[in-house]
Chain A
Amino acid sequence: MKINGRAVEGEVEPRLLLADFIRDNAGLTGTHLGCEHGVCGACTVQLDGHPVRSCLIFAVQAHGHQVATVEGMAPSDSSLNTLQQAFHECHALQCGFCTPGILMTMDAFLREEPDPTPERIRSALGGNLCRCTGYQNIITAVRLAADRLNC
């Protein structure tokens, strides 16, 4: 499979979850595992551009597909992309456990809906739980990123 454009190979048991392959085999630990049953959203990655739960897909199923994780977002080691920068500026994270999943969700959402209302952002955020920030700053950050991406 390709992760963030880089080919990653491995021979694994069919029962290995995509999330564990990303973390342990590919060494990309930005994708977090919370509930392991699809509820919390921490493990959200993009499969062929669409946000999905990597705890509910087996690694073998991603054979030949494109996976995107949070590590692929920033243009370089010393800078953030627009959405990440907006999260930083708006204090849209505290512990950061939920953040990679939220970024992967919102990155795809803004591609589909470049100019969303706060209500639409709130609804798109429904599949990601955050236990510390409170969702308000996350919504503000997504809206700020939308403004910057649109100008």
Chain B
Amino acid sequence: MKPAQFEYDDPETEEEALDLLARHGDECKVLAGGQSLVPLMNFRLARPARLIDINRIDSLSYIKREDGRLVIGAMTRHTHLERAAEVAQGWPLLTEAIGWVGHAQIRNRGTIGGSVAHADPAAELPAAFTALDASFQVRSKRGSRTIGWDHFFVSEFTTALAPDELVMAVEVPALDPGSGAAFVEYARRHGDFALGGAAVTLRLGRDGHCEKATIALVSAGPAPVRASSAEQQLRGSTLDDSSIRAASVEAVKGLRPTSDLHGSTEYRIGLLRTMTERALTKAAQRARSST
């Protein structure tokens, strides 16, 4: 099918875009890479009255380091992030996660800001950013604020963004020395959304004990899920097979992923446990070889 009619603006500056959003907030949608929004419009599942296309705003497309943190502009395309050497070096979890996002043609167009604003619970990047304790810079005519992942992701396809707010950038703290990270998922076909996945980071102390663990699960609930009690349980352990196995069991306790055509709740819980176990095992190996 084809999209319904809409008004269209393609501002060249952030200020113009924010003006337009302030004026039309409720009835308009931001158009970034269009890789989620346009399919919805083609099927007329979305019929925004107006699109504010931010593709011409060059100032939103960048990757930089600021005080040790990685800052990624909202309009940075997936491919750009995937190929950035500094990201592969300092934040390999992002590079690993992004390889699972759709296909090359989708990643050439899709943006980082779009992936987080869309907030699909099966998407890779929101979970990776959750494991990395990232926060999101957002702006409107009313002012700027920075929202942590725990407040930003609210539910399926729902974030803390107000209708007049634009995601400007994602801020990702640096991993401490002695850390290892891994992203693992399972999908039916390469490029499909994940049936289940896990993004984890581990930090080892000098004595080989785990000092910090973060575990974020993909397709486990309405928003990325942080398995905090499993994280706590890993602290102080040697990350041997049995503590990893126990933490994976703990990580899926209480989860009720939705049962559908692609997998029942029970199947998905089992899958999430296995993904967590594999991600932890990989991350532990990587942490050990980095110390």
Residues of chain A having any CB pair with chain B under 8 Å: 13-15, 17, 20, 36-38, 41, 44, 47, 50-53, 55-58, 60-61, 105, 109, 123-124, 126-127
Contacts and interface: CB of A to CB of B under 8 A. Distances in A.
Contact of B104 (A13, A20, A60, A127): A127
Q: Which of B7, B8, B104, B108 has the most CB of A within 10 A?
A: B104
B267 interface: no
B34 interface: yes
Interface string B149-191: 0000000000000000000000000000000000000000111
Given A15-B4, A37-B39, A126-B103, A50 B108 contact: yes
Contacts of A109: 104
A104 B190 CA distance: 20
B159 to A, nearest CB: 22
Given A15-B41, A17-B2, 16 more contacts: A14-B7, A14-B51, A20-B2, A36-B39, A37-B43, A38-B39, A38-B102, A55-B38, A56-B34, A56-B109, A58-B34, A58-B38, A105-B104, A126-B189, A126-B190, A127-B105
A53 B5 contact: no
A56 B39 contact: yes
B106 A15 contact: no
A50 to B, nearest CB: 4
A110 B72 CA distance: 29
A50 B51 CA distance: 24
Given A56-B109, A105-B105, A123-B190, A38 B35 contact: yes
B42 A14 contact: no
Nearest to B79: A50
B148 interface: no
B1 A36 contact: yes
A41 B105 contact: yes
Interface of B: 1-8, 10, 34-35, 38-39, 41-43, 51, 53, 55, 79, 102-106, 108-109, 189-191
Given A37-B42, A126-B190, A53 B109 contact: yes
Contacts of A37: 39, 42-43
B42 A55 contact: yes
B105 A44 contact: yes
B55 A61 contact: yes
15 contacts: A14-B7, A15-B2, A51-B104, A53-B35, A55-B38, A56-B38, A56-B39, A56-B109, A57-B34, A58-B34, A61-B53, A105-B104, A109-B104, A126-B104, A127-B102
Given A15-B3, A38-B39, A52 B190 contact: no
Contacts of B6: 14-15
Nearest to B55: A61
Nearest to B107: A127
B235 to A, nearest CB: 37
A47 B33 CA distance: 13
A53 B190 CA distance: 18
A50 B82 CA distance: 15
A126 B191 CA distance: 7
A141 to B, nearest CB: 18
Nearest to A125: B103
Contact of A57 (B38, B43, B102, B190): B38
A99 to B, nearest CB: 15
B108 A51 contact: yes
A53 B51 contact: no
A15 B51 CA distance: 10
A105 B8 CA distance: 30
